[in-house]
Chains A and B, each alone.
Chain A
Amino acid sequence: MNVPFIGEVPSDIVVSWIVTVLLGIFIMWWMTSRRKWPLVGEYVTTTDNRKIGTMYILLAMVFFIRGGMDAMFIRTQLAVPENEFWVFQSQKYNEVFTTHGTVMIFFVAMPLLIGLMNIAVPLQLGANDLAFPYLNSISFWLFVAGGVIFNMAFFFNAAPNAGWTSYAPLATDTYTTGPNNNYYIFGLQISGLGTIFTAINMIVTIVRLRAPGMKMTRMPLFSWATLITSILILIAFPVLTISLLLLTFDRLYGTSFFLGEYGNPVYWQHLFWIFGHPEVYILILPAFGIFSDIISTFSKKRVYGYTSMVIAICLIGLLGFMVWAHHMFTVGLGALANAIFAITTMLIAVPTGIKIFNWLFTMRRGVVRITTPMLFSLGFIPTFVIGGVTGVMLAVAAADYQYHDSYFVVAHFHYTMIGGTILGAFAGIYYWYPKMTGKMLDEKLGKWHFWLFIIGFHLTFMPQHFAGLNGMPRRVYTYTWEDGLFLLNFVSTIGAFLMGASMLFVAWNLYKTHRYTDKVGPDPWDGRTLEWTVDSPPSEHPFHPIPKVDSIDAYWYSKLDKKPLPSSEEIRPSPIPVKTIQPLVLAGILIFMSIGFIYQWVWMQVIGGSLALGFFILRSLTDEREKTYREEEES
């Protein structure tokens, strides 16, 4: 499409600009007329864990729409053979699957889980906030900055196009010129930094802020999963940081780590997967934790085999670091390496199997209530088992030569990522929604959402197994009638639109809930853990006094005994909250600086970099802890 003053611009970008601007104007108008700006102001300056968690989830939903639209474009383009849907062929198609993958993993799945951790973990532990409230806000705004950088690429006709794995040498400037993959680098770099800070925050909170009597061996399983996940983040994300740094040098400063006569593209694959494989466990372990808590609550039974559950989480976390080369079986690492990595990969099925059986045994002879969160958990078990079984199939190195880079792989990881992480996040959102907002989502619409989503999901991805086995490679934008893949792809497209339609029920549900329902009490689900002892939504420092815990699910047993939880005498200080605009400003500075690097405008790099470094000085001089220390000194 020819735009005056700018030149040739693909029509999808023109449409997106128009829609976004109109939507922006509408939202501005709506917020002003409803007087919502003070509320916005309150949220962007807060360091409260519940509010930050809610913002994580809200923003993840926005990115979910973006990633979901990419998915719809992909499925429409692939609906029939030799299709020419809108602009989504060749290079455009590369951009669309790259952004779909990257957005869904880094800007949807991660923030959904981190948001739920923010909301639930401190409450489950009897802590009044995360250990470092200010740092938590920084984490969130770094995630926002990363998300903005990554997503704005599309609007400037420069969406990343080297796949979510950004494999070298394709991702180096020799083969993908232009700023496209610089956006990928800086978007991930900055949001990744935020994730690292969140992990530190979570570990310190879990290690040091538990309520008296809440031993590690009495923690709810979601908190356990968060702890192990955070440790994985702590080890895996720095590797991503450095591999992105090396790629930056390759793209901007003329080194050749990953290509050319000196460099080695396989080294990128190693680095990426040393990060990337733990990353998939980072995405799945919190979901496991959510399911454990939900299944236990709605079976009215203590989770079966608590100790083995914890050991299984730890084992999965540990093994997660020893399997990365199973993404590289066809690279030619040799029979020995392939055999070792095949075996470690298969080993992961053991702790995962233990968890599956424990969930089943938790329900056995329990009083099962089929609520929406429980329904998502029940849908998860068979779905994830299918994903696990295809995972073991892929782990057979010799057979993987056949499956590699085919739709079989695509089907496999969607069964684990959607069947695990996304179902887990939905379950968690329905479950903890009262703790987020004080209201309950509508059960009937929730069940509609579940059934449409799960049916759509299986319709979409089950046929892709067979498309892959019949030889359809991933990342291709079309196929021929002779390939005999039409029916499989067509069913898949129908399923994808069904999944998309199911999300409309979420929108309707949100509207209905906030329009027509009243606030609920502290314990709407008849829960077992400490988060159900405080108000919905909880106040900023809800535990006064801090309860004392003497067993797993202490709150449940106190309800059975019809006695309130005892409160504790020994009280450690709560983390210090602060109202501050600084993190938001930092996000702005980092976006500014990143654009400087992306387009290699040195003056912008210098200004942005100096401001970012100067931020440390500002922070040091405005330390909110000073007041507390002074009071103690004077007392």
Chain B
Amino acid sequence: MKENTAYLFEDKRLGFFLYLVVEAIMFATLFATYIIYTPASRGADPSEVYELRTVVLTSIFLLSSSGTLLIAERGLKNWSRMKIWIGLGATFLLGGAFMVLEVHEFYKYWSEGYTLSMNNFLSSFYVLVGLHASHVAFGLAWMILLMFQFTKQLPRALFIEKHKIFNYYWHFVDVIWVLIICIVYAPYLF
């Protein structure tokens, strides 16, 4: 017979997947907005704004963070505290590096005069990529909380549950980043 907590976890997982559907539709709407308004008839063109170097660096950091999270997932499976710490820690550092670069990217564009209200390409770029960046920031705070919970004596099943829900979230945010590379950056960089 299945344990009670297994039922509760499966409820929560389905609920969270449905929430990710909601998020996916929100991002889809913003992607549509970006596609419609880019490139704009006036003001900056994407090809003069984007820089290949930043995009490559941010992508390396964020995409590899999904990989390091797999270490933590392995640790959850055979309950190795070591692996969980390494996985979470590495993911946090990589995510943090992404975040720093992202903020720097925005700052740089802004100081070059490519502001939010210059034209609709930039408006939709900032809203879309900014929403993604705030998801990463939220994920970083979530990881700190998760690590804090890990140091406490939480029931193991509950910690595993919380960790798994976070994993789905982080992988989802990564998938959105892949879409951002393909739809937002790639057409104007190559």
Residue numbers of A with Cβ under 8 A of B are 131-132, 135, 196, 199-201, 203-204, 207-209, 234-235, 237-239, 241-243, 245-246, 249, 253-257, 261-264, 267, 271, 572-573, 575-576, 613, 616-617, 620-621, 623, 625-626, 628-630, 632-633
| Chain-A contact segment, one of B35-43, B91-99, B102-110, B168-176 | B35-43
Interface status of B51 (Cβ within 8 A of chain A): no
Q: Which residues of A contact B22 (CB under 8 A)?
A: 196, 200, 234, 237-238
Q: Which residues of A contact B43 (CB under 8 A)?
A: 262
Contact A204 B117 (CB under 8 A): no
Distance (whole angstroms) from the CB of A445 to the closest CB of chain B: 42
Q: Which residues of A contact B154 (CB under 8 A)?
A: 626
Contact A628 B120 (CB under 8 A): no
Additional pairs, 9, CB under 8 Å, beyond known A199-B18, A616-B141: A234-B18, A249-B127, A255-B127, A271-B29, A573-B4, A573-B7, A617-B145, A620-B145, A628-B5
Interface status of B15 (Cβ within 8 A of chain A): yes
Known: A203-B18, A262-B37. A253 touches B116 (CB 8 A): yes
Contact B29 A242 (CB under 8 A): yes
Distance (whole angstroms) from the CB of B132 to the closest CB of chain A: 13
Contact A239 B124 (CB under 8 A): no
Interface status of B57 (Cβ within 8 A of chain A): no
- Distance, CA A111 to CA B12, complexed state (A): 24
Contact A632 B120 (CB under 8 A): no
Q: Which residues of B contact A262 (CB under 8 A)?
A: 37, 40-43, 119-120
Q: Which residues of B contact A575 (CB under 8 A)?
A: 11
Contact B145 A253 (CB under 8 A): no
Contact B123 A249 (CB under 8 A): yes
Contact A257 B124 (CB under 8 A): yes
Contact B15 A132 (CB under 8 A): yes
- Distance, CA A204 to CA B18, complexed state (A): 9
Contact B157 A633 (CB under 8 A): yes
Distance (whole angstroms) from the CB of B85 to the closest CB of chain A: 19
Contact B158 A629 (CB under 8 A): yes
Q: Contacting A632 at CB < 8 Å: which of B3, B10, B117, B119? A: B3
- Distance, CA A237 to CA B150, complexed state (A): 35
Contact A207 B116 (CB under 8 A): no
Q: Contacting B18 at CB < 8 Å: which of A200, A257, A576? A: A200
Distance (whole angstroms) from the CB of A203 to the closest CB of chain B: 6
Interface status of B156 (Cβ within 8 A of chain A): yes
Contact A246 B5 (CB under 8 A): no
Q: Contacting A239 at CB < 8 Å: which of B7, B29, B149, B157? A: B29
| CB under 8 Å from chain A, chain B span 1-27 | 3-5, 7-8, 10-12, 14-15, 18-19, 21-23, 25-26
Distance (whole angstroms) from the CB of B162 to the closest CB of chain A: 7
Top-3 shortest CB links A-B: A629-B155, A238-B25, A573-B4
Q: Contacting A255 at CB < 8 Å: which of B29, B116, B157? A: B116
Contact B127 A245 (CB under 8 A): yes
Q: Which residues of A contact B156 (CB under 8 A)?
A: 633
Known: A200-B15, A246-B33. A257 touches B123 (CB 8 A): yes
Determine chain A's interface SS by DSSP, over half rule.
helix
Q: Contacting A628 at CB < 8 Å: which of B4, B25, B142, B149? A: B4
- Distance, CA A228 to CA B49, complexed state (A): 44
Q: Which residues of A contact B101 (CB under 8 A)?
A: none
Known: A131-B15, A246-B127. A253 touches B21 (CB 8 A): no
Q: Contacting B5 at CB < 8 Å: which of A201, A616, A629? A: A629
Contact B14 A208 (CB under 8 A): yes
- Closest-by-CB residue of B relative to A235 is B25
Contact B14 A632 (CB under 8 A): no
- Distance, CA A207 to CA B117, complexed state (A): 45
Contact B158 A267 (CB under 8 A): no
Q: Which residues of B contact A257 (CB under 8 A)?
A: 33, 37, 120, 123-124
- Distance, CA A241 to CA B26, complexed state (A): 7
Contact B11 A208 (CB under 8 A): yes
- Closest-by-CB residue of A relative to B24 is A238
- Distance, CA A253 to CA B116, complexed state (A): 8
Q: Contacting B155 at CB < 8 Å: which of A234, A271, A630? A: A630
Interface status of B55 (Cβ within 8 A of chain A): no
Point out which of B8, B19, B142, B145 has the most chain A C-beta atoms below 10 A from its C-beta.
B8
Contact B15 A201 (CB under 8 A): yes
Q: Contacting A256 at CB < 8 Å: which of B5, B123, B158? A: B123
Q: Which residues of B contact A237 (CB under 8 A)?
A: 22
Q: Which residues of B contact A243 (CB under 8 A)?
A: 29
- Distance, CA A629 to CA B162, complexed state (A): 12
- Closest-by-CB residue of A relative to B43 is A262
Contact B36 A632 (CB under 8 A): no
- Distance, CA A271 to CA B12, complexed state (A): 30
Q: Contacting A625 at CB < 8 Å: which of B8, B15, B33? A: B8
- Distance, CA A264 to CA B36, complexed state (A): 10
Contact B120 A256 (CB under 8 A): yes
Distance (whole angstroms) from the CB of B126 to the closest CB of chain A: 8
Contact A633 B155 (CB under 8 A): yes
- Distance, CA A573 to CA B4, complexed state (A): 6
Q: Which residues of B contact A271 (CB under 8 A)?
A: 29
Q: Contacting A254 at CB < 8 Å: which of B117, B127, B162? A: B117
Known: A200-B15, A208-B11, A262-B37. A238 touches B29 (CB 8 A): yes
- Closest-by-CB residue of A relative to B117 is A254
Q: Contacting A620 at CB < 8 Å: which of B12, B19, B120, B162? A: B162
Q: Which residues of B contact A131 (CB under 8 A)?
A: 11, 15
Q: Contacting A253 at CB < 8 Å: which of B4, B117, B158? A: B117
10 residue pairs from A and B, CB less than 8 Å apart: A131-B11, A132-B12, A200-B19, A209-B11, A249-B127, A255-B127, A257-B123, A617-B145, A620-B145, A620-B149
Q: Which residues of B contact A261 (CB under 8 A)?
A: 42
Point out which of B4, B30, B43 has the most chain A C-beta atoms below 10 A from its C-beta.
B4
- Closest-by-CB residue of B relative to A634 is B155
- Distance, CA A460 to CA B162, complexed state (A): 55
Distance (whole angstroms) from the CB of A190 to the closest CB of chain B: 15
- Distance, CA A246 to CA B123, complexed state (A): 9
Q: Which residues of A contact B5 (CB under 8 A)?
A: 628-629, 632
- Distance, CA A208 to CA B29, complexed state (A): 30
Q: Which residues of B contact A263 (CB under 8 A)?
A: 120
Distance (whole angstroms) from the CB of A437 to the closest CB of chain B: 29
